[in-house]
Amino acid sequence: MYQNKDWANFTWNNNKLLVLLANVRHLQGRLLGQMENLGFKLKEEAVLSTLTLDVLKSTEIEGEILNKDQVRSSIARKLGLEASGLVDSPRNVDGVVEMMLDATQSYMQPITSERMFGWHAALFPTGYSGMYKIEAGKYRNGDMQVVSGAMGKEKVHYEAPKANQVESEMNTFLNWFNNTSEIDSVLKAAIAHFWFVTIHPFDDGNGRIARAITDMQLARSDGSAQRFYSMSNQILTERKKYYDMLEKTQRGTSDITSWLIWFLSCLENALVNSGEVLDSILAKAKFWEKYSQTSLNDRQRLMLNKLLDGFDGKLTSSKWAKIAKTSQDTAIRDIQGLINKEILRKEAQGGRSTNYELII
């Protein structure tokens, strides 16, 4: 597409978008209204959970799995939030968190090339992507192809603009992003995402930066730095369709109606599914309200929060000891204390090792 003269003069059929866009706008307004009725602490928890999900899923789309506790701790520290169970976070986690927070918390600030170079350098603090040395904090100086398949049988899905065109293409893009206001701000998020990944200006990290730009523009559309839904989580769920639609649109004409329909549908699903995050936060708040006068030690609070956040696998006394950094005997005493208070119980099925679950 970009080989065409004036390729970035995108067109679309408004009539095909109107109903979908109106519904997305309605869902955005309803969600923000629901959140306004929550107390300050619950809203903080909702933002922390949503941003954690967004960082985890945006990275997972690229095949990299980050540690949830490290991501959550990094976000909480950088936002100055009081959150239980904070752990240390490595540079690569802090980097992707810093990029996402800069995009969403300073959403009204223009994106300059220097700001974007800062994001890219934060994503790759060592100057390496895996084992490969990359140009961190600057536009790529080599050509770029998106390929898949085994060596010798590669399929080229897309070939990006030549390296010597990147700076000029990015200047045009940034000028449009910072100055165009007549397009609906949700549609602008969809166009910005597609336009940026089509230029593919960096050696690596283009997808994550595209999603940060998307979140930034969606924050503008909400008029709020507080994030209560995750587009990245929904893109991960619809990943195959996402890549298929990108490839199809990049091979097509300047009419991007199909891409906009897909983006709006994906955003609609993200907004609907945000209810699950809200439900879990309300359930957690209800739980702690119920046990607000119950005497619990720090290890018990840490482990109960992990169970409320969706513990991975079955809870055993040995897992408790490992996570709470305590002895097996102390873990068993902690667990027995919660059983006596009717907060935990043994799982019915039993088995070789005893498992425990929350009583809710």
Residue 302's nearest CA partner among 279, 285, 278, 323 is: 323
89-95: average pLDDT: 94
Q: How far apart are CA 324 and CA 91, in angstroms?
A: 24
For the stretch 220-269, pLDDT in tens is 999 999 999 999 999 999 999 999 999 999 988 899 999 999 999 999 99
pLDDT exceeds cutoff 70 at 4: no
Q: How confident is the model at residue 97 (pLDDT cuts 50, 70, 90)?
A: very high
Decide: 252 and 244 in contact? Cβ < 8 Å: no
Looking at residues 96-117, what average pLDDT do you find?
Answer: 97
CA–CA gap between residue 99 and residue 119 (Å, rounded): 5
Q: How far is CA 234 from CA 197, 263, 267, 269, 279, in A?
A: 18, 10, 7, 7, 18
In angstroms, the CA 302 to CA 335 distance is 12
Whole-number Å distance between alpha carbons of 12 and 198:
17
- Kindly state the percentage of the chain with pLDDT values over 70: 95
Q: What is the arithmetic mean of pLDDT over 84-104?
A: 91
| Residue 82 clears pLDDT 80, i.e. is over it | no
Q: What is the pLDDT of residues 174-187, one digit of tens each?
A: 999 999 889 999 99
Task: DSSP for 252-306, please give it.
Answer: S-SB-HHHHHHHHHHHHHHHHHHHHHHHHHHHHHHHHHHTTTS---HHHHHHHHH
Least-confidence region, from 88-97, 121-130, 275-284: 275-284
pLDDT of 147 strictly over 90: no
String of DSSP letters for 92-135: HHHHHHHHHHHHHHTTTSPPPHHHHHHHHHHH-TTSEETTEE--
**The pLDDT of residue 289:** 83
Domain residue ranges of the chain, discontinuous segments joined by +: 14-284, 297-358
217 has a pLDDT exceeding 90: yes
Whole-number pLDDT of residue 310: 79
pLDDT category at 350 given cuts 50, 70, 90 is low
Q: What is the pLDDT of residues 320-348, one digit of tens each?
A: 999 999 999 999 999 999 999 999 999 87
Least confident residue range of 41-50, 73-82, 120-129, 201-210: 41-50
* Residue range 297-358, CATH number: 1.10.10.10
Quick check: 2 pLDDT over 70?
A: no
* Fold held by 14-284: Fic-like fold (1.10.3290)
Cα separation, 268 vs 231, in Å, equals: 9
What's the mean per-residue pLDDT of the chain?
Answer: 91
More confident residue, 313 or 324: 324
**What is the rounded distance in angstroms from the CA atom of residue 273 to the CA atom of residue 277?**
8
SS3 191: helix
Burial group, residue 110, by CB count within 10 angstroms (0-12, 13-18, 19+): exposed
Residue 127's pLDDT is what?
A: 92
**Quick one: pLDDT band at residue 276, thresholds 50, 70, 90?**
confident
Question: What span, in angstroms and rounded, lies between the C-alpha atoms of 341 and 260?
Answer: 53
According to the model, what pLDDT value does residue 1 have? 60
